[in-house]
């Protein structure tokens, strides 16, 4: 670990520079502190306050304002607006609610100041401008703590990885690591295996539920199914996490380490970031999780590789990880850590998304019946055609992404100057597009706080012709997987996985959420655990 005193000087210098600028809270009234402590306000945002119009110059022509004119919480010497996160652990865990409050208070755009200014966007039109910018290599800010740790382990990791890389290097990694998991042909051929895994999941629920039908730690089996599916896709073999005792201590440690590492990544963005200079407890904990993740998954990958070599498979049916390992132009470390990243990305994201979706569906038993009805004709395996025609199930999933996404915002670095909500932002500015806030705003969705899958359904006549296309004005901000060239390469896998899981669950059970759902920000938005769900056999 290398302390970097130069960086400390840089940070201090940049804050001193900010101090020379306007000092925040310029927008909607006074009392930034008050705004920041009002974190537990209601979840949904009413219609947004309009952007204040630009002040006219002497000739009466509205002037374009700079980044430092953007309203936001008061900026303090050296710590900028970071003080907002210093009020106990809950401030950080509830940061998604704080952003709702910030939107209500400051309007469509808000400035935070960290080591650099961060522009928070809440307005749909602004987000569309930024996210739909036709970029060759979209620029997403890297996760610094991952970069710092990985560069301290050159024995294991290449110079960068897919999630953090930029420019031509990112493009190369993206092309070489994700071709298999995004291929329609590969994924369609994978559907029978996902069917089997989902059947095993249903059996596991039956075996593990208590006498009253309750599963007490639902997140554990949700993690197991996520890992089983991604290992089956990438490594081409069943791991047995759902059917055997392999759901053992080692695997539980892996799932826990993935979850915890997201928490530490999230925390590393806030506060004073002392971990950059000294190995703080946060940094040491993060390293501990990363080591568990690397060692456990590397062991799985190497085991699979050994078996593959023993069986000498036909070249045409190469598994995704073998294709990656045989790719030219990347070094072995980049390939192994790329495979590990793909597997890791698929565990917690799926588990959170499934838990939120089941919570939303548990509120209305008719929705559960409608899903069961949609798949009633599938006695054995569900096919690709069944998945495509399951309109109601897809509408439920889409609505759940809108109302309870696991990724509440998307980050970009502007590649050219932009005018957003009347402010001039220069190329290089870091912006956060708060899609969750926009999805919960009445500006974009009527009855935004209600789970209403019908809003995504077209009206059809008796011959199944569309007679009325529903046009939700806010549809463009429902972006659970991001957008553009940098969007999530796992989307198609998750589409299949989630639809099949929901289909099999409601073919077999009616569910009831037994634990209250509380959300916490852990880099991803996650349900507070443990989650208790009662599964009653469908009669
Ligand atoms: C419900 C599950 C998932 C959600 C909600 C999700 C969401 C996201 C989002 C929002 C991004 C950033 C996109 C952007 O900046 O535009 C992303 C990136 C990424 N995701 Fe996912 N993801 C999920 C599952 C997966 C799975 C299953 C995999 C792997 C198979 C995966 C691998 C990745 C990778 C590698 C990136 C970085 C892509 C790049 O920078 O080029 N994700 N994901």
Non-local CB neighbours of 161 within 8 Å, separated by 6+ positions:
146, 150, 173, 334, 337, 338, 341
Q: Which of 481, 485, 527 to mutate to test the pocket of ligand 1 (most atoms within 8 A of CB)?
A: 481
Q: Which of 415, 490, 491 to mutate to test the pocket of ligand 1 (most atoms within 8 A of CB)?
A: 490
Place of tokens 């990985």: 150
Question: In ligand 1, which atom is closest to the CA atom of 401?
Answer: 5
How far is Cα 468 from Cα 218, in angstroms, rounded to an integer?
A: 39
Distance 445 CA to ligand 1 centre (A): 25
Distance 505 CA to ligand 1 centre (A): 25
How far is Cα 425 from Cα 504, in angstroms, rounded to an integer?
A: 49
pLDDT at 147 over 50: yes
Look at residue 377 and give its three-state secondary structure.
coil
Long-range contacts of 54-58 (CB under 8 A, 24+ apart): 54/422
Which tokens belong to 195? 């069917």
Whether ligand 1 lies within 6 angstroms of the CB of 163 is answered as yes
pLDDT at 286 over 90: yes
Distance 345 CA to ligand 1 centre (A): 7
Question: In ligand 1, which atom is closest to the CA atom of 485?
Answer: 41
How far is Cα 536 from Cα 510, in angstroms, rounded to an integer?
A: 5
Whether ligand 1 lies within 6 angstroms of the CB of 409 is answered as no
Whether ligand 1 lies within 6 angstroms of the CB of 493 is answered as yes
**How would DSSP label each residue in 206-247?**
HHHS-TTSEES-HHHHHHHHHHHHHHHHHHSS---TTTSTTS
Whether ligand 1 lies within 6 angstroms of the CB of 435 is answered as no
Whether ligand 1 lies within 6 angstroms of the CB of 164 is answered as no
Distance 310 CA to ligand 1 centre (A): 33
The per-residue pLDDT for 45 is 47
Which residue has a Cα nearest atom 20 of ligand 1? 488
The per-residue pLDDT for 172 is 95
Q: Which of 127, 171, 415, 488 to mutate to test the pocket of ligand 1 (most atoms within 8 A of CB)?
A: 488
Q: How many CB atoms lie within 10 A of CB 315?
A: 8
How far is Cα 342 from Cα 328, in angstroms, rounded to an integer?
A: 19
Place of tokens 């589409």: 495
Distance 20 CA to ligand 1 centre (A): 39
pLDDT at 519 over 90: yes
Q: Give the pLDDT confidence of 386-400 residue by residue, as tens digits.
A: 999 999 999 999 999
Whether ligand 1 lies within 6 angstroms of the CB of 162 is answered as yes
Range with the lowest mean pLDDT among 235-239, 379-383, 409-413?
Answer: 235-239
The per-residue pLDDT for 312 is 56
Question: Looking at residue 64, what DSSP letter applies?
Answer: P
Question: In ligand 1, which atom is closest to the CA atom of 234?
Answer: 30
Distance 420 CA to ligand 1 centre (A): 26
Which residue has a Cα nearest atom 19 of ligand 1? 488
Place of tokens 């050219």: 416
Non-local CB neighbours of 243 within 8 Å, separated by 6+ positions:
200, 203, 204
Longest dimension (CA), the chain: 80
How far is Cα 535 from Cα 338, in angstroms, rounded to an integer?
A: 37
pLDDT at 238 over 60: yes
Q: What DSSP element (H or E) covers 466? A: strand 466-468
Whether ligand 1 lies within 6 angstroms of the CB of 487 is answered as yes
Look at residue 117 and give its three-state secondary structure.
strand
Question: Looking at residue 2, what DSSP letter applies?
Answer: -
Distance 449 CA to ligand 1 centre (A): 26
Non-local CB neighbours of 362 within 8 Å, separated by 6+ positions:
368, 511, 512, 513, 533
pLDDT category, 116, cuts 50, 70, 90?
A: confident
How far is Cα 21 from Cα 489, in angstroms, rounded to an integer?
A: 41
Whether ligand 1 lies within 6 angstroms of the CB of 84 is answered as no
Cβ atoms of 448 and 442 closer than 8 Å: yes
Could you tell me what percentage of the chain is helix, strand and coil, using 3-state DSSP and rounding each to the nearest 5?
50, 10, 40
β-strand pairing of 65-66 with 423-425? parallel
Backbone angles phi, psi at 50, to 5 degrees: -70, 160
Q: Give the pLDDT confidence of 10-59 residue by residue, as tens digits.
A: 555 555 555 555 455 544 433 333 333 332 333 344 555 555 555 566 66
Whether ligand 1 lies within 6 angstroms of the CB of 407 is answered as yes
The per-residue pLDDT for 459 is 77
């Amino acid at each position: 670990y290398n302390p970097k005193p130069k960086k400390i000087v840089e940070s201090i210098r940049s804050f001193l520079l900010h101090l020379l600028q306007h000092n925040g809270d310029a927008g909607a009234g006074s009392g930034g502190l008050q705004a920041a402590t009002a974190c537990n306000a209601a979840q949904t945002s009413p219609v947004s306050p309009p952007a204040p119009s630009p002040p006219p110059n002497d000739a009466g022509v509205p002037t374009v304002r700079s980044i430092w004119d953007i309203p936001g919480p008061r900026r303090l010497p050296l710590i900028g607006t970071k003080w907002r996160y210093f009020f106990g652990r809950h401030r950080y865990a509830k940061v998604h609610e704080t952003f709702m409050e910030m939107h209500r208070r400051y309007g469509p755009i808000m400035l935070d100041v960290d080591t650099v200014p961060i522009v928070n966007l809440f307005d749909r039109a602004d987000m569309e401008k930024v996210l739909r910018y036709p970029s060759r290599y979209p620029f997403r800010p890297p996760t610094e703590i991952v970069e710092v740790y990985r560069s301290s382990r050159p024995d294991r990791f290449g110079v960068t990885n897919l999630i953090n890389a930029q420019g031509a290097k990112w493009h190369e990694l993206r092309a070489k690591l994700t071709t298999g998991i995004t291929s329609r042909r590969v994924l369609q051929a994978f559907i029978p295996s996902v069917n089997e895994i989902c059947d095993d999941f249903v059996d596991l629920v039956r075996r593990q539920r208590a006498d009253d039908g309750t599963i007490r730690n639902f997140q554990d089996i949700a993690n197991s199914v996520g890992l089983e599916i991604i290992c089956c896709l990438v490594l081409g073999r069943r791991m047995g996490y759902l059917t055997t005792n392999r759901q053992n201590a080692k695997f539980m440690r892996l799932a826990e380490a993935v979850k915890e590492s997201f928490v530490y990544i999230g925390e590393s963005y806030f506060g004073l970031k002392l971990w950059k200079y000294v190995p703080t407890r946060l940094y040491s904990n993060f390293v501990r999780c990363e080591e568990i993740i690397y060692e456990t998954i590397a062991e799985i990958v190497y085991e699979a590789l050994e078996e593959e070599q023993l069986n000498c498979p036909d070249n045409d049916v190469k598994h995704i990880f073998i294709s990656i390992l045989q790719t030219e132009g990347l070094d072995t470390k980049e390939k192994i850590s790329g495979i590990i990243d793909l597997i890791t990305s698929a565990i917690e994201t799926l588990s959170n998304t499934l838990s939120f979706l089941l919570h939303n569906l548990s509120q209305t038993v008719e929705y559960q019946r409608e899903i069961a009805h949609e798949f009633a004709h599938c006695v054995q395996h569900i096919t690709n055609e069944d998945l495509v025609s399951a309109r109601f199930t897809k509408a439920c999933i889409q609505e759940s992404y809108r109302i309870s996404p696991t990724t509440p915002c998307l980050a970009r670095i502007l590649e050219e100057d932009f005018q957003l909500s009347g402010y001039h932002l220069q190329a290089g500015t870091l912006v956060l597009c708060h899609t969750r806030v926009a999805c919960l705003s009445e500006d974009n969705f009527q009855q935004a706080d209600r789970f209403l899958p019908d809003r995504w359904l077209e009206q059809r006549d008796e011959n199944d012709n569309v007679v009325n296309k529903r046009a939700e004005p806010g549809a463009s901000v429902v972006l659970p997987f991001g957008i553009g060239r940098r969007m999530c390469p796992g989307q198609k896998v998750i589409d299949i996985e989630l639809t099949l899981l929901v289909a099999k669950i409601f073919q077999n059970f009616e569910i009831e959420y037994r634990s209250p759902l509380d959300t916490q920000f852990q880099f991803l938005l996650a349900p507070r655990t443990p989650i208790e769900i009662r599964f009653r056999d469908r009669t």
